C-alpha cells in the first residue's frame, strides 16, 4: 500500500460528495463566525434577496436565515447537497424563505442588480477569488454586499512543506492585504476582513470528520480511492495543526461601489 498523499483533485467527485454529505459543514466555519460576518451588513429587510453560492448542505445558510429576514437562494453544483439542503430547511421550517437550487457559480441564474447580498463560505476558490468577485458583482444592487470566506496566507514567507501543499490544492491562495486590494479593484469598498478562529477548523471541521470516517470506510470497504481520500483528509488536519500560524480562513466583506 502506498502512503503517498494525493492532491484532492485526483479523487472522484462522487466520493468526495459522499464523504461530506454526512457532515454539517463542507468547509471551515461556525455559526458564530457566520453571525459575526453578518454583523457588518446593514439594511436587510423581508424584501431582501440573498444568494448563498457553493452552499453545500446549508450549514451556514440556515444560520443566515435565522439571523436575517430576507429570501435566500442556495446554489450548489451537487444535487445530493441540494436535496439535503432543502430537507434541512424544511426541518427548521425555513422552506418558504430558503430554497436550494442546483447551479454553477460560473453561470448563475440571477438578473443584473437583483441581489442585496451574496454569501459564499469556503467555495469561491472554485471559480477563483478575483474572477468570482468580478463576475458576481453584476448581480448585486448598487450598495449591495458580498461576504466570502477564503483560505489565505497570514505571512509573506512559509515553510516549504505547507507552501507545496497549497500550491497543489489551490495555487491561487494569497495573503490578506492582497485579497483586500483585489476586492477594492473589483469594485467594492472593503468593509471588513477577519481571521476565522481555530475552532472553525478543529471543532467544526476536522473533529466531526472523525465520526463519519468509520461509516464511510465501511461503506466503501476495499475501495482504495476511499482509503486514500481519508488519508488525505487526515493529512490536511495534521498540516493544519503544524502550520496554523501561516494560514487559515479569512472572511472578506465588501460593499458594491
Q: Which parts of this chain interact with ligand SAH (CB under 6 A)?
A: 25-27, 29, 54-56, 59-60, 75-78, 81, 104-106, 121-123, 126
| Least spacing, CB of residue 111 vs ligand SAH, in Å | 18
| Least spacing, CB of residue 57 vs ligand SAH, in Å | 7
| Least spacing, CB of residue 28 vs ligand SAH, in Å | 7
Q: Which is nearer to ligand SAH, 106 or 161 (CB)?
A: 106
Separation of alpha carbons 40 and 253, rounded Å: 8
Q: Which helix (H) or strand (E) holds 51?
A: strand 49-53
CB–CB of 62/90 below 8 Å? no
Separation of alpha carbons 148 and 130, rounded Å: 12
Q: Which is nearer to ligand SAH, 158 or 165 (CB)?
A: 165
Residue 119, classified by CB atoms within 10 Å of its CB into exposed (0-12), middle (13-18) or buried (19+), is buried
Q: Which helix (H) or strand (E) holds 99?
A: strand 98-102
Separation of alpha carbons 235 and 242, rounded Å: 11
Neighbours of 95 (CB within 10 A): 14
Q: Which is nearer to ligand SAH, 20 or 188 (CB)?
A: 20
| Least spacing, CB of residue 167 vs ligand SAH, in Å | 20
Q: Which is nearer to ligand SAH, 74 or 158 (CB)?
A: 74
3-state secondary structure 110-131: CCCCCEEEEEEECCHHHCCHHH
Q: Return the SS3 of 212.
A: helix
Q: Which is nearer to ligand SAH, 58 or 144 (CB)?
A: 58
| Least spacing, CB of residue 156 vs ligand SAH, in Å | 27
Q: Which is nearer to ligand SAH, 116 or 121 (CB)?
A: 121
Distance of CA 218 to the CA centre of its chain: 28
Q: Where are the alpha helices (DSSP H) in the chain?
A: 13-21, 31-38, 59-67, 79-91, 129-137, 160-169, 176-185, 207-219, 224-243
Separation of alpha carbons 117 and 44, rounded Å: 9
| Least spacing, CB of residue 69 vs ligand SAH, in Å | 21
| Least spacing, CB of residue 44 vs ligand SAH, in Å | 19
Q: Which is nearer to ligand SAH, 31 or 190 (CB)?
A: 31
Amino acid at each position: 500500500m502506498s502512503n503517498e498523499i494525493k492532491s484532492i483533485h485526483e479523487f472522484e467527485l462522487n466520493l468526495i460528495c459522499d464523504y461530506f454529505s454526512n457532515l454539517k459543514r463542507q468547509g471551515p466555519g461556525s455559526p458564530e463566525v457566520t453571525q459575526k460576518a453578518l454583523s457588518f451588513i446593514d439594511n436587510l429587510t423581508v424584501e431582501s434577496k440573498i444568494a448563498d453560492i457553493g452552499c453545500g448542505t446549508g450549514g451556514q445558510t440556515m444560520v443566515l436565515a435565522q439571523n436575517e429576514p430576507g429570501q435566500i437562494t442556495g446554489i450548489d453544483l451537487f444535487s445530493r447537497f441540494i436535496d439535503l439542503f432543502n430537507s434541512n430547511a424544511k426541518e427548521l421550517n425555513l422552506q418558504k424563505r430558503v430554497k436550494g437550487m442546483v447551479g454553477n457559480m460560473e453561470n448563475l441564474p440571477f438578473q443584473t442588480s437583483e441581489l442585496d447580498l451574496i454569501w459564499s463560505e469556503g467555495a469561491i476558490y472554485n471559480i477563483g477569488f478575483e474572477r468570482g468577485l468580478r463576475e458576481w458583482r453584476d448581480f448585486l444592487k448598487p450598495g449591495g454586499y458580498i461576504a466570502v470566506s477564503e483560505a489565505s496566507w497570514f505571512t509573506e514567507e512559509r515553510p516549504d512543506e505547507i507552501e507545496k501543499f497549497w500550491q497543489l490544492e489551490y495555487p491561487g491562495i494569497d495573503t490578506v492585504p492582497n485579497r483586500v486590494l483585489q476586492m477594492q479593484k473589483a469594485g467594492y469598498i472593503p468593509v471588513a476582513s477577519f481571521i476565522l478562529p481555530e475552532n472553525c477548523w478543529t471543532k467544526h471541521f476536522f473533529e466531526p470528520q472523525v465520526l463519519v470516517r468509520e461509516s464511510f470506510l465501511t461503506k466503501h470497504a476495499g475501495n482504495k480511492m476511499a482509503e486514500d481520500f481519508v488519508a488525505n483528509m487526515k493529512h490536511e488536519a495534521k498540516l493544519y495543526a503544524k502550520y496554523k500560524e501561516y494560514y487559515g480562513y479569512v472572511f472578506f466583506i465588501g460593499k458594491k461601489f
